[in-house]
Amino acid sequence: MYDKTSYMAIYFTHFANASIMPSMFHSRMLIALILAIVAIGGIRVINARTESDVTPLPNTRLSEQRDAIVTQPPGFNKNLYAISDPSSIWVVVNKRRPLSPKTYTPSQLVVPNMPLRLGTGSSEMRVSAAMSAALEQMALAAKKEGANLMLASGYRSYGSQSAIYSSHVKTYGQVSADRQSARPGHSEHQTGLAADLEPSNRACEIAQCFGTLAEGKWLAANAYKYGFIIRYQSDKEAVTGYMYEPWHVRYVGVGLATEMNKQAITTLEEFFGLPAAPGYE
Ligand SMILES: [Zn+2]
């Protein structure tokens, strides 16, 4: 029967017996052990260097990148993509952050393979190639769960946004128009990274009751898994500058959408610590 003390005693006896073995064996073992420790330490140093060397931090100067490496807590890297470059999937566009240039056009626009409100020749049925596959996958997953999503409006050029905004101003007046439609050069739709979705039967088309439909509920619960956020939440008009739009999704990639969901932060402005944008400056 072993108790702790007798086990230790046996262990030391064994160790002592081993010491009567030839000393050459011991010195070889010792050298091998030292070499192993040095090698493991070296590999760890090399790994640490490689990780920090490959952390991509675009759109920042080298000194800022160095600061970011030092001050960035372990975990989510908020500097992974640029937030001012209109071609970046993290670009933050609002009433205080116009697109630069205001007439920006995405380089690659494609028609996603999913139900479409208009014909494939319509420019509004195109979206950025960066999000097209994610949008298709999301529509497919939603369909499997009984939510039939259709693309109502994707990319809108500076020109077409001008026409939409002017028509809103004519119909509702400027104050009301600014709550629901972006001025040209300030619309996420112009990046190709936003989409207005609706059920394929067009119920609650671009209307807040979309949020109560199976499609709206499915989107609110699942969009983040495909890299999308509901950009204009009902309780965030003071931050985003827009009233509740349960139909308007914005592609930011699975990493950011999942992190925002995890932290329960629903606006890009709050996540990136940017000023609220309730109105134009
Ligand atoms: Zn929209």
Report yes or no on 88 lying in a domain.
Answer: no
CATH number of residue 152's parent domain: 3.30.1380.10
- The phi-psi region of residue 233 (left if phi > 0; otherwise alpha if psi is between -120 and 50; otherwise beta) is beta
Residue 76 alpha carbon to ligand 1 centre in Å: 28
> Active-site residue among 124, 188, 198, 245?
245
Token representation of residue 163: 């026409």
| Centre of ligand 1 from the C-alpha of residue 12, in Å | 75
Q: What angle do CA 166, 213, 277 make, to 5 degrees?
A: 40
Residue 74: the pLDDT is 72
Partners of residue 230 on adjacent β-strands: 249
The pLDDT of residue 16 is 41
Is 196 inside any structural domain? yes
Going by the DSSP 8-state scheme, the letter that residue 97 receives in this structure is B
Which of 34, 55, 76 delimits the end of a domain?
55
Q: How many domains is the chain built from?
A: 2
As a whole number of angstroms, the distance between CA 213 and CA 100 comes to 36
CB 250 within 8 A of CB 236: no
Q: Which amino acid is at 207?
A: A
β partners of residue 160? none
On whether residue 156 sits in a domain, the answer given is: yes
Domain limit, last residue, from 36, 55, 74: 55
Tell whether 162 and 23 lie within a shared domain.
no
* Angstrom distance (rounded) from CA 199 to CA 24: 80
Q: What angle do CA 75, 240, 174 make, to 5 degrees?
A: 165
pLDDT at 14: 45
From 195, 191, 193, select the one nearest 104 (Cα to Cα): 191
Same domain assignment for residues 136 and 239? yes
- Give me ligand 1 centre to Cα 182, in Å: 9
Report residues near ion ligand 1: CB below 5 Å: 196, 248
pLDDT of residue 24: 54
Same domain, residue pair 262 and 136: yes
CA–CA distance, 212 with 198 (Å, rounded to integer): 12
> Are 130 and 255 contained in the same domain?
yes
Domain range for residue 120? 109-271
Determine if the peptide bond prior to 101 is cis (ω within 30°).
yes
Together in a domain, 115 and 215: yes
Within this chain, do residues 47 and 117 fall inside the same structural domain, yes or no? Answer: no
Residue 249 is assigned to a structural domain of this protein: yes
DSSP codes of every residue in 152-189: EE----HHHHHHHHHHHHHHH-HHHHHHHSPPTTS-GG
- 265 contacts 172 by C-beta, under 8 angstroms: no
| Chain CA centroid to CA 58, Å | 16
Catalytic-residue membership of 245: yes
Same structural domain for residues 171 and 43?
A: no
278: phi then psi, degrees, rounded to nearest 5: -70, -25
* Cα–ligand 1 centroid distance for 169 (angstroms): 17
27 lies in some domain: yes
Do 123 and 17 belong to one domain? no
Instruction: Write out the two tokens for 156.
Output: 């809108």
Q: 123 with 251, same domain?
A: yes
CA of 98 to the centre of ligand 1 (A): 16
Positive or negative, the Cα torsion across 152, 154, 157, 158?
A: positive
In a domain, 203, yes or no: yes
Segments of 45-122 assigned E as strands: 109-110
Of the residues 55, 75, 91, the one at which a domain ends? 55
Q: Based on the domain organization, do 166 and 247 belong to the same domain?
A: yes
CA of 32 relative to ligand 1 center, distance in Å? 66
Q: 38 with 117, same domain?
A: no
Per-block average pLDDT, block size 10, for the chain (281 residues)? 43 42 57 60 45 43 53 81 98 97 97 98 97 98 98 97 96 94 96 98 98 98 98 98 97 98 98 97 82
Asked if residue 129 belongs to a domain, the reply is yes
Judgement on whether residues 131 and 15 belong to the same structural domain of the protein: no
CA neighbours within 13 Å on the CB side: how many for 204?
A: 20
